[in-house]
Copies of this chain bind each other. A is one copy, B any other.
Amino acid sequence: MKNFIAKSIKHLQKNSRQILTINQRKIHLDITRNSQFADLAHFESILDKQGVVTNEQVLHNHNNDWTHKYQGHSKLLLKPKTPEEVSQVLSYCNERRLAVVPQGGNTGLVGGSQPVFDEIIVNLSRMNKILEFDESYGIVTAEAGCILQDLHSFLHDKGYLMPLDLGAKGSCQIGGNLATNAGGIHFIRYNSLHANCVGLQVVLANGTILDNITNLRKDNTGYDLKHLFIGAEGTLGVITKSAILCPTLPKYKHLALVSCRKFEDVLELLKKAKLQLSDILQAAEFMDQISMEAVNHMLGFKNPLNKEYPFYALIEVASNNEGKSDSERLFSLLGDTENIVATLKYDISLSTAHYYKIVEEVRLLILSSHEFTDTEKQLIKVTGYGHIGDGNLHLNVAIPGYDSSSLQDKLNAVVDPFVFDYVKNVRGSVSAEHGIGLQKAKYLSYSKTPEMIEYMQHIKDIFDPCGIMNPYKVIMDSKISQ
């Protein structure tokens, strides 16, 4: 195996700028491969047979993301079964300067869990056990590879639910959710994973197992290190276990899908919902007509209102107050809109004043651009939808058909700088919930000051001094580029 991998790495090194797919070209062109990352072997002695995968077909799935936007070239997939195995793998990789990509359910949207070159994939899917449930505080302890849906099912039977709910829950894993600080639909009610994660076990680059697994609701002793790993996208260590605080299952849910003629009406509705329903408000979502059309087209659904409106808002409330239960169909429909085929997907955070304005401005930008022909302008669909209750907009610029790389290149060139500058100028965030990954690593400075980034780099140096953990992601100018 050693030879085989060494050979492939040599090939990759030589061709590192050529092997990237067309879609990736614009993103990766400025990354030079770090020649430190070479030579791997002997993981068979640490892991069992199923734990060491070199099969190309299997690797293909783990090298690619589900939107087919990012493609890595790893030749080795490791699937450890215990934190100790993860520790042995990392400690070996650290000594040998082998780069590693931690991977959960691989459902991310910013290329955070795919290798860029031939980094070793450490996939957590075999560590998928629910370990404990503390009924007195509602704290569930599980291994990192546990599928989010499995946690939901487990907790449902006990009268609890996971605070996190999102479209990919059938395949995403809790470790990946934590590593990316996933947001989702119920963020407005139950807050972020920073709020709900009470304990974490992490394996650091040098193999150290940092054990902060606890069932305690409160613990105020020393620096709260676990928050560093929540949202660090595997660049500081591999999350192996977590303890999550779970709310009890509300008995009754009510949903309202509201049509609006103006975006201002959506905002007015949100304001009222927050003030009048705040204690039971479970979700506040929004979509425009083009998003609605796209969902209906892609999934064969029908607009439940039987008439078109420029905007739609969805308000969900949930409580233990007795009342009629309502259909959740529309709601899951909204969650599924992630399946729209799109070339550009933005996940941004803006104040309400700018929330929808940016969608309109991007439409204007494309219409007024000389880069596109009139036919092309017709093809491009700019849609906005998202968790308006949290100020989180999913701005998509989609080209149905999606096979013209030159059209896409033009789109990147015109829209990308505009959106990122817009967000920077209004002090928004270039990543509300999807993270930084590979896609936005060069845009980190659009949401964080140079001083913040400098200290992030110091933190990176502490936990991953050799820079083996998920290189090229989140912080670009890490040790690996020296």
Contact = CB atoms under 8 A, between A and B. Distances in A.
Interface of A: 134-138, 159, 180-181, 183, 187, 191-192, 194-196, 204, 208-212, 214-225, 227-228, 230-232, 236, 247-248, 250, 267, 270-271, 274-280, 318-321, 349-352, 387, 390-392, 427-436, 440, 444, 447-449, 451-453, 455-456, 458-460, 462-463, 474-475
A462 B452 contact: no
A184 to B, nearest CB: 11
A210 B452 contact: yes
A220 B138 CA distance: 26
25 contacts: A136-B270, A136-B271, A159-B275, A183-B218, A187-B218, A191-B195, A192-B195, A194-B224, A195-B196, A216-B350, A216-B427, A216-B428, A216-B429, A217-B349, A218-B391, A220-B231, A222-B444, A222-B453, A222-B474, A223-B474, A225-B459, A227-B228, A228-B228, A279-B321, A280-B319
B180 A211 contact: no
Contact of A459 (B159, B223, B319, B321): B223
Contacts of A159: 275
A217 B390 contact: yes
Contact of A391 (B137, B208, B225): B137
Given A220-B231, A223-B460, A279-B320, 13 more contacts: A187-B218, A191-B195, A192-B218, A210-B451, A212-B449, A215-B427, A216-B428, A216-B429, A221-B440, A223-B474, A277-B320, A279-B279, A455-B462
Nearest to A277: B320
B462 A221 contact: no
A219 B349 contact: yes
B436 A221 contact: yes
Contacts of A455: 204, 210, 225, 462-463
Contacts of A224: 181, 194, 227-228, 230-231
Nearest to A159: B275
A217 to B, nearest CB: 4
A250 to B, nearest CB: 6
Given A194-B194, A218-B349, A452-B211, A248 B275 contact: yes
Nearest to A429: B219
Nearest to A458: B462
A300 to B, nearest CB: 31
A204 B390 CA distance: 30
Contacts of A435: 220
Nearest to A462: B458
Contacts of A191: 191, 195-196
Contacts of A280: 279, 319
B218 A223 contact: no
A431 B210 contact: no
List 9 tightest A-B contacts by C-beta distance, closest first.
A195-B195, A227-B227, A219-B429, A248-B278, A218-B432, A221-B447, A217-B390, A136-B352, A216-B349
Contacts of A351: 134, 136, 215-216
A168 to B, nearest CB: 16
B436 A220 contact: yes
A180 B455 CA distance: 22
Nearest to A447: B221
Contacts of A449: 210-212
Given A136-B391, A248-B278, A429 B218 contact: yes
A212 B431 CA distance: 15
Contact of A475 (B222, B276, B447): B222
Name the residue in A224, A271, A279, A455 with the highest tally of chain B Cβ atoms < 10 Å from its Cβ.
A279
B217 A392 contact: yes
A195 B319 CA distance: 21
A247 to B, nearest CB: 6
B456 A222 contact: yes
Contacts of A349: 216-219
A222 B279 contact: no
Determine which residue in A217, A232, A270, A448 has the highest number of CB atoms from chain B within 10 A of its CB, and name it.
A217
A276 B321 CA distance: 10
B279 A212 contact: no
Contacts of A462: 455, 458-459, 462
Given A427-B214, A452-B212, A219 B432 contact: yes
B451 A209 contact: yes
Nearest to A223: B456
A204 B175 CA distance: 32
